[in-house]
Amino acid sequence: MVASHSWSSSSELVTLFAAFDKDSDGRISPSELRQCMKATLGEEVSAEEAEALVASEDADGDGHLDASEFVRLVAGVEVADEERRRGLREAFGLYEMEGLGCITATSLKEMLGRLGSEQGIDECRAMICRFDLNGDGVLTFDEFMVMMSA
């Protein structure tokens, strides 16, 4: 969601808030949140999801996010994304057994075997190929994150 960037500067957050506040009323409605997430992040959010996001930080209950509520929403998303990334890094480490910093067909086969799923090396190569964005025959951590999001 919003957290693909670390919002370290308050001026960046003010700019982001202003971009989401399309009618410049000092508040972000669920509709504005949906529009901006689609336009700026390419992320499709349903009306219900947008309302739930707004409600999650809407301290005054007006159905909108003011600047401070918006900052809390962004900060919460960043924390959740960082926790997810940390969990994925741990999972990646389980599959990356050869000390190469990537998942190979051999290491994938070995880990899947430990999990009770016997796959042939060709099947493991095919799994890797599906998410191997740079075509080098292995999965980097970034490619692994894409795979886990699919």
pLDDT in tens, 122-141: 999 999 998 898 899 999 98
Q: What is the C-alpha separation between 144 and 121, in angstroms, rounded?
A: 18
Please provide the CATH number assigned to the domain covering 96-149: 1.10.238.10
Whether 76 shows a pLDDT value over 80: the answer reads: no
CATH of domain 8-82: 1.10.238.10
Q: Which residues pair with 21 in a beta bridge?
A: none
What distance lies between CA 62 and its chain's CA centroid?
28
Higher-pLDDT residue of 123, 39: 123
Rounded to 5 degrees, what angle do the CA atoms 119, 123, 127 make?
110
65: exposed, middle or buried (Cβ count in 10 Å: 0-12, 13-18, 19+): buried
For the chain, give every residue range classified as CATH 1.10.238.10: 8-82, 96-149
Residue-level pLDDT at 63: 93
Q: Place 83 in a pLDDT band, splitting at 50, 70 and 90.
A: confident
Distance CA 59, CA 38 (A): 25
Mean pLDDT of the chain: 84
